[in-house]
Amino acid sequence: MIAAPEISVAAPPPPALRDDVAEIANQPIAPPESSPAEAYSRKNPFPGRLLVNRRLNSPDSEKDTRHFEISLEGSGIAYEVGDSMAVYPTNDPALVAEIVAALGATGDEEILSPRGGAATLREGLLRDFAITQPTPKFLKAIAQRANAAPLLNELMAPDRKHELATYVFGLEVVDFLLEHPSITWTPQEFVALLPKLQPRLYSIASSLRMHPEAVHFIIDVVRYRSHGRVRKGVCSTFLAERCADSPAPIFPTVSKFRLPEDGDAPIIMVGPGTGVAPFRAFLQERQATGARGRNWLFFGAQRVQSDYFYKEDFDQFSADGILTRIDTAFSRDQAHKIYVQDRMVESSGEIWKWLEEGAHFYVCGDAKRMAKDVDAALRQIVQQGGGKDAEQANEYVEKLKGEKRYKRDVY
């Protein structure tokens, strides 16, 4: 039986770097090349400038959720509410420096860049390669070269994938390098085992009509402890910690998560936590366009005093007559946890009435649990409100999907 790793969300600052490694970590990174607005894409991201980096939780919160704004000035970038924006991060220089040191390298060695041409090892690890999660290709190479790792060799068997996943949970590439210092790699051999660093997609939290010069995001900053080390989310900490004086390369991605074409159509939005992002944009858009449809938001978080993101915005939308109704669920403010799906069931009669009046139903956020629970609650509401059996309720919900009145942006 392999023990699960110890993980905690609250993490202390990373340990100080040795002087010789710190020099590697502090090397400047060249910004991405600019290009015409119509070419801003995955291959040619716009070098945005971070304008706002503001924590939305109070200091006593268990989470670190940030509001970010990135300048679009001069980009010509256009998007619709409901779209996502991709952010190209760079890796943590401290982690890069530790990997370089573990390899016994200087960082100045030449490697082949996946972008074409040559790069230094340091630059490649900073900009081009994913250096946190170990891939099967990397693990196989470790198992083949490390005679002292019989357990890893055993777990590479096809029928032990679940045990392998448990074993590597909470571990990163650097852990295996430090665990097996006798394994030697050339810089090129090492990077050939790493996948390309990929952009991260975030739901846009603003309307271009209301904010033409900047794009807004709400993002949980990922930090935790595992196996005695501080771990960091690559892109969330890139924006939170490492983006003040360097570009934030971005490009838009089109989504089908759209407002109804009819501005008079009512909408019901379910977005706990950072899933509220597109709905803040929806409300801004409906205000900017003068849409007359009713708007109902279900928002959830841990605690009302520390985690009620954008409360001032929603209060103002309510005062302006844009937000018809908001129901909140703060899971840890009472002995038993309350979630958005519980609030939905409490208002099942009214939700059924809105659906029968043509409302569009939207969900954004966690796919593994929240979206499934919300879907189950919706089917329960249809069954109860419409006096339907389970099969008829399922048919009703599937019809909503077919009419594009039930849309999900889940991840």
Task: Specify the CATH number for the domain of residue 139.
Answer: 1.20.990.10
- Cα radius of gyration (the chain): 24
Q: Domain check: are 75 and 117 in the same one?
A: no
> In whole angstroms, what is the distance from residue 43 CA to residue 39 CA?
8
DSSP letter at 196 equals B
Q: How many domains does the chain have?
A: 3
Q: Domain check: are 81 and 205 in the same one?
A: yes
Q: Domain check: are 365 and 394 in the same one?
A: yes
Q: Domain check: are 174 and 37 in the same one?
A: no
Q: Domain check: are 161 and 43 in the same one?
A: no
Q: Quote the pLDDT of residue 144.
A: 87
Cβ neighbours for 186, distance < 8 A, ≥ 6 positions apart: none
**pLDDT for 8-46, tens place per residue?**
333 333 333 434 444 444 444 444 444 444 569 999 999
Q: Domain check: are 178 and 107 in the same one?
A: yes
Could you read off the pLDDT tens digit of each residue along the chain, which spans 411 residues?
333 333 333 333 333 343 444 444 444 444 444 444 456 999 999 999 999 999 999 999 999 999 999 999 999 999 999 999 999 999 999 999 999 999 999 999 999 999 889 999 999 999 999 999 999 999 999 988 877 567 888 888 899 999 999 999 999 999 999 999 989 999 999 999 999 999 999 999 999 999 999 999 999 999 999 999 999 999 999 999 999 989 999 999 999 999 999 999 999 999 999 999 999 999 999 999 999 999 999 999 999 999 999 999 999 999 999 999 999 999 999 999 999 999 999 999 999 999 999 999 999 999 999 999 999 999 999 999 999 999 999 999 999 999 999 999 999
Domain presence at residue 118? yes
Q: Which residues of 293-326 are buried (b: 16+ CB within 10 A; e: fewer)?
A: bbbbbbbbbbbeebbbbbeeebeebbeeebbbeb
> In whole angstroms, what is the distance from residue 277 CA to residue 280 CA?
5
Q: Quote the pLDDT of residue 235.
A: 98
In the block, residue with structure tokens 């670190």: 64
Q: Quote the pLDDT of residue 152.
A: 87
The secondary structure of 369-386 as a DSSP string is THHHHHHHHHHHHHHHHT
Cβ neighbours for 9, distance < 8 A, ≥ 6 positions apart: 62, 63, 223, 224
Q: Domain check: are 176 and 323 in the same one?
A: no
Domain presence at residue 2? no
Q: Which of 183, 198, 213 is the last residue of a domain?
A: 198
The secondary structure of 89-122 as a DSSP string is ----HHHHHHHHHHTT--S--EEE-TTSSEEEHH
Domain presence at residue 394? yes
Q: Domain check: are 211 and 181 in the same one?
A: no
Q: Domain check: are 402 and 300 in the same one?
A: yes
The whole domain housing 321 covers 267-410
Cβ neighbours for 29, distance < 8 A, ≥ 6 positions apart: 90, 123, 126, 127, 246
Domain presence at residue 12? no
Domain presence at residue 3? no
Q: Domain check: are 398 and 302 in the same one?
A: yes
Q: Quote the pLDDT of residue 146.
A: 76
DSSP letter at 30 equals P
Q: Domain check: are 311 and 372 in the same one?
A: yes
Q: What is the CATH number of the domain that holds 287?
A: 3.40.50.80
Structure tokens at 204: 């846009």
Question: What are the percentages of helix, strand and coil residues in the chain, rounded to 5?
Answer: 35, 20, 45
Domain presence at residue 260? no
Q: Which of 153, 170, 198 is the last residue of a domain?
A: 198
Q: What is the CATH number of the domain that holds 234?
A: 2.40.30.10
Q: Domain check: are 282 and 337 in the same one?
A: yes
